[in-house]
Structure 1
Amino acid sequence: MILEVDAETVVSYLSGTKLAHINIVSWTRHLLRPLKKAGLTLSVDIQDVIDPDDFYREDYVREADVLFFSSTNFSDPSFLIEKYLEIRSDRIVICGLGNKGCVVGNEKGIEHFDPIELAEPVVDTNGAGDSFAAGFLSSYILEGYSIREAVLRGQIAARYCCTKKGVSSELITKDHLDLLFEEKSEASGQLP
């Protein structure tokens, strides 16, 4: 079965939005250029990369303005970030490292961010990467936070997700994220 979605319908439906976060299921491939042409910022999660030259992910890697991937198969993702920035230097590339934090690259360089802690224990990591992406993207693209601030907000959302057992109904709210962000920012000296 081949799923085909009409690109014009999708672009029309997303009219007035700033951002599209795309998963790498094959039917989304033909939406990449129309969404870019419509002026949306494209975020793509290419998941757990095995081969940096993977043909299947090539379109997604080329078109993404913000590119997420997991470090599951690489202990040091720096060379992958560099490779993806060589393809397009005008983007942000983010690699989640699980309990080791994350690595973020852009045209200014590559930076490692240590993990953050919350009082509640980790009970389930399912959904942490998606929570990080949602926290980062909403903060950076939609609310205008700096990259560093958006990374912290993404980390808070991801870590909070890990305190819940596999239910999306208990994900962090914006108000709770704002509160934890203020606490963590003051503790780390990020806010004046």
Structure 2
Amino acid sequence: MTGATDVLVLGGAGVDTVIHVPGLPLPYADSFPVDSGIRTRAGQTGDFVAVGLAALGLRTHHLDLLGDDPEGDLVRALHREHGITLTTFPQPAGTRRAVNLVGPDGRRQSLYDTTRGRPGDRFPEATLRELAAASRHVHLTITPPCARALPVLRETGVPLSTDLHDWDGRNPYHEPFAYAADIVFLSAAALAEPERTMRRIAERGRAGTVVATAGARGAYLLTDGELTRIPAAAPPAPVVDSNGAGDAFAAAFLYGLLSGESPGRCARYGAIAGAHACTVPAGRAEAVGRDDLLRRAHEPER
């Protein structure tokens, strides 16, 4: 059964309500008109990674807890639309939700509803072992059920990746993920010294590759002890929303990895996919396709 799935994505299924605001931080006012509308759509970090992987032709399986509610129905419909296998277990507290405020420049601020979970939430061990054993790679989101899955995943020996998002390098919640994964993605947004944090992850954990994305400034790539800068890719259209850019980067990087590419080429793929994601309006879940990614990867860097 090994290899029936290219990437198993764990956790991170949910629904976002996206609101375009006149600026961030949002100044205090009794009310604001929202001329662009308020949209609720399926797609949180695990969903976007899965969509990105599937768009690149990888056999993708997503596992999470999901509510029996309208938001859960949106998530299920998203996976059907993109041909992604979805295995879910009941979440009585309801499907994960968030509100994303998006500024005119595409930057966003997310407000997460932490009530959509229960103490002790976890994936059934037998299912987790079976799906991991059938996968070439496992990508974990940093939700509590995934934290509790780490011991089982380590026993399977399947290569792991995770995204620490805007970790500040100090919050202890992120450390088990940072030190258990073979590939670690994170944002440099909250890091005063990205290189220092990246090297600490590599020294204390299993990661042979650490990537810190830095938006329009590109990314930092640490592999085999060597730090390099990855230039940002030029967006193919105007930037409208940065939601999902980091997830797109991770998906394209993993595509390169599973295709046998070097870490530098994988990061180049990630930069292209992240730039593409910034041009996609918040109401759509759309990722760069394989042909477009490979074509752009062979164009001269601008």
Which 4+ runs in 1 deviate beyond 4 A? none
2:274 equivalent to 1:158: yes
Structure 1 vs Structure 2 CA RMSD: 1.7
2:295 equivalent to 1:179: yes
Q: For 1:85 and 1:14, locate their aligned partners in 2 and report how far apart those are by CA, in whole Å.
A: 24
SS of the residue corresponding to residue 95 of structure 1 reads strand
Q: For 1:54 and 1:78, locate their aligned partners in 2 and report how far apart those are by CA, in whole Å.
A: 17
Closer, same or farther: CA 54–75 of 1 in aligned 2, 3 Å: closer
Closer, same or farther: CA 168–138 of 1 in aligned 2, 3 Å: farther
Alignment: residue pair count: 183
Give TM-score scaled by structure 2 length. Answer: 0.57
Give TM-score scaled by structure 1 length. Answer: 0.88
2:201 equivalent to 1:92: no
1:21 aligned partner, one-letter code: H
Task: Check the 8 A contact 2:179/2:207 in 1, yes or no.
Answer: no
Given candidates 157, 163, 166, the residue that maps to 1:48 is: 166
1:178 aligned partner, one-letter code: L
Match of 2:145 in 1: 27
Task: Check the 8 A contact 1:85/1:107 in 2, yes or no.
Answer: no
Task: Check the 8 A contact 2:210/2:221 in 1, yes or no.
Answer: yes
Range moving further from structure 2, 145-154 or 161-170: 161-170
2:124 aligned partner, one-letter code: D
Task: Check the 8 A contact 2:253/2:269 in 1, yes or no.
Answer: yes
Structure 2 gap segments, 5+ residues each: 1-117
2:247 equivalent to 1:130: yes
Q: For 1:33 and 1:17, locate their aligned partners in 2 and report how far apart those are by CA, in whole Å.
A: 17
Q: CA deviation at 1:167?
A: 4.3
1:96-125 per-position Cα deviation (integer Å, ceiling 9, x unaligned): 101100001122311111211134121111
Range moving further from structure 2, 2-11 or 63-72: 2-11
Q: CA deviation at 1:130?
A: 0.2
Structure 1 gap segments, 5+ residues each: none
> Which has the bigger relative contact order, CA under 8 A and spacing at least 6?
2
Task: Check the 8 A contact 1:89/1:106 in 2, yes or no.
Answer: no
1:160 aligned partner, one-letter code: H
Match of 2:197 in 1: 80
Q: For 2:262 and 2:136, locate their aligned partners in 1 and report how far apart those are by CA, in whole Å.
A: 17
